[in-house]
Amino acid sequence: MFARLSTTIKMSGWLEVDIMVDFVENMRRKGKAEEDLYFAELDRKLIEALHEKQARQFESSDAPIASKDHSDTPSQMK
């Protein structure tokens, strides 16, 4: 990431500005990557918690999964 930084020694002018811009851009990218990792982990935890909640609700539910409307069964048809 900082390999080009050593090339600024004994140089002056526009090249130093260019390298400084590269350094600032690299620091911005590093910060964005850290932020992306943080929120990706947070999303994983939230999704896991949601799945656990849904599993608990499913296990404790007395209602059948299928619809209670059985109008299409042969015993209900006229």
Distances (CA, A) of 42 to 33, 48, 75: 14, 10, 51
Query: Over its length of 78 residues, how does the chain's per-residue pLDDT go in tens digits?
Result: 455 555 545 556 667 778 888 889 999 999 999 999 999 999 999 999 999 999 999 998 855 555 555 566 566 554
Which residues are within 8 A (CB) of 23 and not within 5 positions of it... i.e. 6 or more apart? 2, 5
At which residue do the structure tokens 């299409």 appear? Answer: 72
Q: What pLDDT sits at residue 1?
A: 47
The CA distance from 4 to 16, in Å, is 10
pTM beyond 0.85, yes or no:
no
